[in-house]
């Protein structure tokens, strides 16, 4: 039951973060997804990332569309406002919410059906507009809630549980995101939490559109032998490109990584992200090389994970529109309404 | 045929030839002479090459509707000569470009040939100027023929090209060229002419879209998202133009965000997201956009997100007649979206009301926590109307509705987003980011309980649906009241109308009154209907419902939602896409009244025979 509350009991010894909150304070309701669903691991990773970043949960808004993935915001961050919108339209809701209050953190959670099919247009345009948000796709290559139809991210070689062949090529969302100018493009795997949590943390610290495609096996409809989105397949073919560290501004950088292997990116809030590359063949700041790597590895059947592309241009929709730094929803009406004296002047223009 | 300050001039042009600007100049100059003008732009869904007309009625008695018939036709488009000639009333005038002289097969029309193309070819070198100034030359000729105050015309040109002074003199010269030609070759003025008056002295000439855009500015809207579509585009453009001036802060940043979205779905999504987050936001569209926005309208109704949507209606169904006017989205909007949904609609009757009802719409949306749809149309939205100046009461406070801030949350034990604590069906909302531990809730389109939690409990869902009904019924009493005009206390004949049909209905009513038929009128301004609507119906036996659609949509709504007996309601329907004329409305109503009378007589006779 999605409305089932967890017992409000806390172990007194639970570790607290800077805000004096425990992990439990970042949880949501009990998940109603199938046991073993990759999405639950992602919810856990989001909770972990928010806890470790000392995020005040009420300053974050979680937004989703429709589908199994879009249900998950109920299962984390109880103290955040949530918006479960309509199918494929979360990006426009997030865009509007962000325009009204630029000071909150916007976390969009979507699925492969919600993003790559019905919502492909809105996904593309939110990236084009550089909406400052984290956009997570919980990608399982199937329509779980309607019982196992192929989705647009299903690989051509992947078969359905019933053994049907997939007739169409997959849409690779990371490639699309890089093409359309998303400044932070990553892929994670729900089965590798140690790799995933730093990715989510870095995305939270990024100013601009941060996209994470998270391969998240559907245990009920797409975890079989002929699937390329099963736990077994992804474990066997996962190629992690890097290992991420997020160093808060206040912490001194102590350990120096080996020369040539580490890229350091200063994030919007002053923290540093250190990217320890495990693969020397590409430069994540260079979108062309990221695209080439993705294409080559995909042809080999590999599932490439890691921070695939980062652009520290530091721009977002507000900057492009020239909106004021004060959240628009906080600008007083007295300032927004020009008053009758001005209207009298305006009337003269219509004489 | 002598007509002073009471005639119709029509311009027949080719679209894309620069005529619109010259024709507006003509209308504006007459308006500035104090005359009541009714300009209607009849344009094609095309950028260049198709026929377009601009009609200006000048009305001594301050009428606001089209009259029908043409006294002076300025026929600049050979493609439509035959039709244009036929539209002229007997004794009227046909002005045409006689660079290629030709006869016209009507004895009862005065033909005035002006070799406009030749004059412009002689006077100008560039093809563009030769084309553009043709329009100014015929306006110049009209200034002499109609005895217009040339000073006023020149001033209008100067104002038109404010900021681009080098265009003023060439335009004035072109005006003079036409004026001199008319003076030399025709008897000026014609018996049809103008005289300066004060009728429109304190009024303004404005389009409804401009006024609605200003309404959004004054209502404090700070987020707008839209997708271009005729005839609604100029609404957001007007908002943007004024926002650029009035929403600029000292540091050069602006306190407004306007996004041209990728489609109408995204436009309304952005607006809902912003409204959910506490900014006043709106979008503007027309019929096809309304269809696309359907799903989101249902979400906003059910999740109770307040915003304003403009439907500047055009001819439907489907792409329909995109540049013609209609009132055919009434039922679609009233019940927009699947499932049991009902939306709040407002019907402005002129540009002044576009401004006033827009401001009201934002207050009502936030007070009622629901979308409010402002039902304008192409005629009000895009044509210039002469109306009273816009007014703002500096003491007016924007009504932001029931929103709980951090202090209020601290004072309550429990918060339920959909918990009807006041018993009026309107619940309290919170904005994201308000309080560290209280007030967070999950907005969703799925069935939910008082605490916004998902539920599949049928009874809980039904209770929520009942609350929404309660809220909607309460809304009826908060909405703008209908405008009732009684010509007779005893008459059992009435008219119900709404929106842009008002000037034609009002004039028709006066014409009917002269024939002895006294009709009381009620102009609807909102849906759901207040109690006045049923009361008006109970006071009358025969009620004509005037609307511009085929299916009598407002009549259906009156039957279904105000419980008015169908036998009482007689439809007067037009769906040809042009603003109504009073004559048409009068003839339609008169015919029914007379047929009623003959039926009554026949029944009386047959009763006597028995």
Q: Which of B174, B201, B228 is the last residue of a domain?
A: B201
How far, in Å, CA of B106 to CA of B108, rounded? Answer: 6
- For A322, the closest of B221, B254, B389 (CB atoms) is B254
How far, in Å, CA of B181 to CA of B177, rounded? Answer: 6
Residue A6 is predicted with a pLDDT of 73
A271 pLDDT band (50/70/90 cuts)? confident
- Pick from B273, B296, B354, B406 the residue to mutate for testing the A interface (most A CBs within 10 Å): B273
Q: Is the pLDDT at A254 greater than 60, yes or no?
A: no
The Cα of B600 is separated from the nearest Cα of chain A by a number of Å equal to 52
Same domain, B190 and B286: no
The residue that leads in pLDDT, B610 or B286, is B286
Residue B396 lies in a domain: no
Residue A251 is predicted with a pLDDT of 57
Q: Is the pLDDT at B83 greater than 50, yes or no?
A: yes
Determine contact: B337 vs chain A, CB below 8 A. Answer: no
Residue B607 lies in a domain: no
Place of tokens 């049809």: B192
A3 pLDDT band (50/70/90 cuts)? low
Q: What is the mean pLDDT of residues B340-359?
A: 98
Q: What are the tens digits of pLDDT across the range B263-307? A: 999 999 999 999 999 999 999 999 999 999 999 999 999 999 999
Assigned CATH topology for domain A23-334: Rossmann fold (3.40.50)
Residue A260 is predicted with a pLDDT of 52
Q: What are the tens digits of pLDDT across the range A91-107? A: 999 999 999 999 999 99
- The bridge status of strand B281-285 relative to strand B344-346 is unpaired
Q: Do B218 and A338 touch (CB under 8 A)?
A: yes
Q: Which residues of A touch B393 (CB under 8 A)?
A: 340
Q: Is the pLDDT at A14 greater than 50, yes or no?
A: yes
Burial class (CB in 10 A: 0-12, 13-18, 19+), B193: middle
Residue B608 lies in a domain: no
Q: Is the pLDDT at A253 greater than 60, yes or no?
A: no
The Cα of A88 is separated from the nearest Cα of chain B by a number of Å equal to 10
Q: Do A336 and B220 touch (CB under 8 A)?
A: yes
- Pick from B214, B216, B257, B435 the residue to mutate for testing the A interface (most A CBs within 10 Å): B257
| Lowest pLDDT segment from A252-256, A262-266, B333-337, B407-411 | A252-256
Q: What is the mean pLDDT of chain A?
A: 92
Same domain, B165 and B218: no
Q: Is the pLDDT at A262 greater than 60, yes or no?
A: yes
Same domain, B281 and B415: no
Same domain, B38 and B151: yes
The Cα of B419 is separated from the nearest Cα of chain A by a number of Å equal to 16
Could you list the residue range(s) of the whole structural domain that residue B548 is in?
483-602
CB B262 within 8 A of CB B225: no
Residue A296 is predicted with a pLDDT of 92
Q: What are the tens digits of pLDDT across the range B529-558? A: 999 999 999 999 999 999 999 999 999 999
Q: Which of B141, B175, B201 is the last residue of a domain?
A: B201
Residue B609 lies in a domain: no
CB A204 within 8 A of CB A186: no
Residue B610 is predicted with a pLDDT of 63
- For A3, the closest of B242, B272, B455 (CB atoms) is B455
| Lowest pLDDT segment from A5-19, B91-105, B396-410 | A5-19
Same domain, B227 and B177: no
Q: Is the pLDDT at B201 greater than 90, yes or no?
A: no
Same domain, B557 and B410: no
pLDDT above 90 as % of chain A: 81
Nearest partner of A186 among A309, A314, A295, A311, judged by Cα: A309
Residues 198-237 of A with CB under 8 A from B: none
Residue B397 lies in a domain: no
CB B7 within 8 A of CB B72: yes
Same domain, B211 and B156: no
| Tokens read off for B545 | 């419902």
Q: What is the mean pLDDT of residues A275-287?
A: 82
Residue B480 is predicted with a pLDDT of 98
CB A136 within 8 A of CB A212: yes
What's the CATH code of the domain at B362? 3.40.50.970
Same domain, B417 and B361: no
Q: Do B435 and A326 touch (CB under 8 A)?
A: no
Q: Is the pLDDT at A256 greater than 60, yes or no?
A: no
Same domain, B370 and B427: no
Q: Is the pLDDT at B5 greater than 70, yes or no?
A: yes
- For A346, the closest of B214, B272, B435 (CB atoms) is B214
Supply angle C-alpha B123, B126, B130, rounded to 5.
55
Q: Which of B173, B201, B229 is the last residue of a domain?
A: B201
Residue spans per domain, chain A: 23-334
Q: Is A238 helix (H, G, I), strand (E, B) or coil?
A: strand
pTM > 0.95: yes or no: yes
Burial class (CB in 10 A: 0-12, 13-18, 19+), B597: exposed
Q: What is the mean pLDDT of residues B244-269?
A: 97
Q: Is the pLDDT at A1 greater than 50, yes or no?
A: no
| Tokens read off for A69 | 């993935």
Q: What are the tens digits of pLDDT across the range B438-489? A: 999 999 999 999 999 999 999 999 999 999 999 999 999 999 999 999 999 9
Q: Dihedrals φ, ψ of A157, to 5°?
A: -85, -10
Q: Which residues of B touch A59 (CB under 8 A)?
A: 433
Determine contact: A80 vs chain B, CB below 8 A. Answer: yes
How far, in Å, CA of B472 to CA of B423, rounded? Answer: 13
Residue B398 lies in a domain: no
Q: What is the DSSP string of A163-219?
A: -PBP-SPPP-HHHHHHHTT-SEEEEEETT-HHHHHHHHHHHHH-SSEEEEEEE---T
Question: How many other C-beta atoms can be found within 10 angstroms of the C-beta atom of residue B262?
Answer: 18
Q: Please give the ipTM for the structure prediction.
A: 0.96
Determine contact: A347 vs chain B, CB below 8 A. Answer: yes
Q: Do A80 and B296 touch (CB under 8 A)?
A: no
CB A167 within 8 A of CB A276: no
Q: What is the mean pLDDT of residues B95-113?
A: 96
Same domain, B148 and B36: yes
Q: What is the DSSP string of B509-571?
A: HHHHHHTT---EEEEE-EES--HHHHHHHHH-SEEEEEESSSS-HHHHHHHHHH---GGGEEE
Structural domain total, chain B: 4
Q: Where are the alpha helices (DSSP H) in B431-516?
A: 458-475, 502-514
Q: What are the tens digits of pLDDT across the range B159-196? A: 999 889 899 999 999 999 999 999 999 999 999 999 99
- For B270, the closest of A57, A92, A318 (CB atoms) is A92
Residue B393 lies in a domain: no
Residue A283 is predicted with a pLDDT of 85
The residue that leads in pLDDT, A76 or A270, is A76
Q: What are the tens digits of pLDDT across the range A298-316? A: 999 999 999 999 998 778 9
Same domain, B262 and B347: yes
Same domain, B410 and B522: no
């Amino acid at each position: 039951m999605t409305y089932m509350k967890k017992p409000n009991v806390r172990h007194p010894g639970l570790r607290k973060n800077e805000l004096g909150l425990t992990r439990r304070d970042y949880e949501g309701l009990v998940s109603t997804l199938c046991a073993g669903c990759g999405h639950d691991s992602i919810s856990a990773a989001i909770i972990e990332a928010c806890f470790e970043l000392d995020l005040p949960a009420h300053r974050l808004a979680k937004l989703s569309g429709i589908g199994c993935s879009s249900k998950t915001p109920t299962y984390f961050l109880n103290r955040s406002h949530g918006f479960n919108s309509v199918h494929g339209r979360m990006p426009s809701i997030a865009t509007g919410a962000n325009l009204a209050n630029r000071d909150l953190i916007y976390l969009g959670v979507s699925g492969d059906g919600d993003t790559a099919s019905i919502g492909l247009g809105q996904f593309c345009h939110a990236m084009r507009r550089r909406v400052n948000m984290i956009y997570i796709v919980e990608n399982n290559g199937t329509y779980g809630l309607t019982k196992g139809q192929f989705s647009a991210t299903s690989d051509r070689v992947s078969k359905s549980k019933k053994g049907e062949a997939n007739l169409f090529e997959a849409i690779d969302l990371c490639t699309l995101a890089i093409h359309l100018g998303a400044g932070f493009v990553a892929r994670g795997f729900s089965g590798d939490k140690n790799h995933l949590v730093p990715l989510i943390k870095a995305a939270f610290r990024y100013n601009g559109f941060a996209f994470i495609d998270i391969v998240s096996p559907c245990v009920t409809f797409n975890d079989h032998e002929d699937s390329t989105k099963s736990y077994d397949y992804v474990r066997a073919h996962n190629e992690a490109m890097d290992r991420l560290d997020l160093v808060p501004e206040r912490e001194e950088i102590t350990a120096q990584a080996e020369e040539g292997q580490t890229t350091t990116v200063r994030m919007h809030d002053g923290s540093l992200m250190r990217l320890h590359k495990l693969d020397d063949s590409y430069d994540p700041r260079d979108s062309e090389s990221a695209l080439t790597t993705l294409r080559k590895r995909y042809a080999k059947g590999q599932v490439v994970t890691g921070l695939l592309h980062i652009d520290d241009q530091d721009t977002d929709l507000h900057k492009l529109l020239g909106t004021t730094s004060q959240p628009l929803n906080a600008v007083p009406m007295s300032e927004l309404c020009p008053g009758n004296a001005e209207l009298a002047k305006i009337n003269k223009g219509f004489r | 045929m002598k007509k002073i300050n009471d005639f119709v001039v029509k311009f027949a042009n080719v679209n894309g030839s620069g005529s619109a600007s010259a024709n507006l100049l003509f209308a504006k100059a007459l308006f500035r002479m104090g005359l009541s003008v009714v300009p209607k732009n009849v344009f094609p869904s095309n950028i260049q090459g198709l026929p377009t007309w601009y009609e200006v009625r000048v009305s001594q008695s301050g009428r606001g509707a089209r009259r029908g018939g043409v006294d002076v036709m300025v026929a600049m488009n050979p493609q439509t000569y035959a039709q244009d000639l036929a539209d002229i009333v007997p004794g009227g005038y046909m002005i045409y470009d006689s660079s290629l002289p030709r006869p016209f097969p009507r004895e009862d029309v005065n033909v005035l040939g002006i070799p406009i193309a030749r004059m412009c070819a002689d006077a100008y070198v560039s093809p563009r100027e030769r084309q553009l100034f043709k329009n100014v030359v015929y306006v110049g000729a009209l200034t002499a023929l109609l005895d217009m105050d040339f000073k006023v015309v020149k001033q209008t040109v100067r104002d038109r090209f404010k900021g681009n002074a080098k265009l003023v003199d060439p335009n004035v010269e072109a005006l003079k060229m036409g004026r001199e030609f008319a003076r030399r070759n025709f008897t000026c003025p014609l018996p049809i002419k103008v005289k300066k008056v004060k009728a429109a002295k304190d009024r303004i000439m404005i389009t409804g879209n401009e006024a609605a855009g200003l309404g959004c500015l004054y209502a404090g809207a700070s987020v707008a998202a839209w997708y271009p579509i005729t005839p609604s585009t100029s609404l957001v453009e007007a908002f943007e133009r004024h926002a650029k001036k009035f929403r600029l802060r000292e540091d050069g940043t602006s306190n407004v965000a306007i996004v041209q979205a990728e489609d109408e779905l995204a436009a309304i999504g952005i607006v809902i997201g912003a409204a959910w987050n506490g900014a006043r936001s709106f979008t503007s569209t027309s019929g096809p956009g309304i269809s696309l926005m359907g799903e989101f309208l249902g979400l906003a109704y059910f999740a109770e997100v307040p915003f304003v949507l403009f439907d500047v209606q055009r001819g439907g169904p489907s792409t329909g007649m995109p540049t013609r006017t209609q009132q055919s989205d009434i039922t679609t909007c009233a019940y927009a979206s699947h499932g049991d949904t009902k939306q709040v609609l407002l019907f402005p009757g002129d540009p002044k009301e576009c401004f006033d009802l827009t401001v009201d719409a934002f207050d009502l949306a936030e007070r009622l926590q629901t979308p409010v749809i402002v039902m304008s149309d192409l005629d009000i939205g895009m044509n210039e109307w002469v109306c009273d100046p816009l007014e703002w009461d500096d003491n007016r406070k924007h009504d932001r509705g029931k929103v709980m801030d951090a202090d209020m949350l601290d004072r309550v034990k429990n918060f339920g987003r959909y918990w009807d604590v006041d018993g009026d069906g309107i619940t309290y909302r919170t904005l994201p980011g308000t309080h560290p531990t209280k007030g967070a809730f999950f907005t969703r389109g799925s069935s939910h309980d008082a605490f916004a939690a998902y539920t599949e409990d049928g009874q809980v869902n039904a209770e929520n649906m009942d609350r929404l009904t309660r809220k909607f019924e309460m809304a009826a009493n908060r909405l703008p009241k209908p405008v009732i005009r009684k010509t007779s206390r005893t008459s059992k004949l009435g008219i119900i109308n709404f929106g842009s049909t008002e000037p034609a209905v009002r004039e028709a009513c006066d014409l009917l009154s002269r024939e002895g038929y006294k009709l009381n009128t009620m102009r609807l301004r909102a849906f759901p209907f207040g109690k006045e609507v049923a009361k008006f119906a109970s006071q009358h036996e025969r009620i004509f419902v005037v609307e511009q659609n085929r299916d009598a949509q407002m009549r259906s709504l009156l039957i279904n939602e105000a419980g008015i007996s169908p036998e009482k309601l007689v439809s007067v329907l037009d769906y040809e896409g042009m603003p109504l004329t009073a004559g048409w409305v009068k003839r339609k109503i008169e015919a029914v009244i007379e047929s009623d009378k003959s039926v009554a007589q026949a029944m009386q006779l047959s009763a006597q025979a028995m």
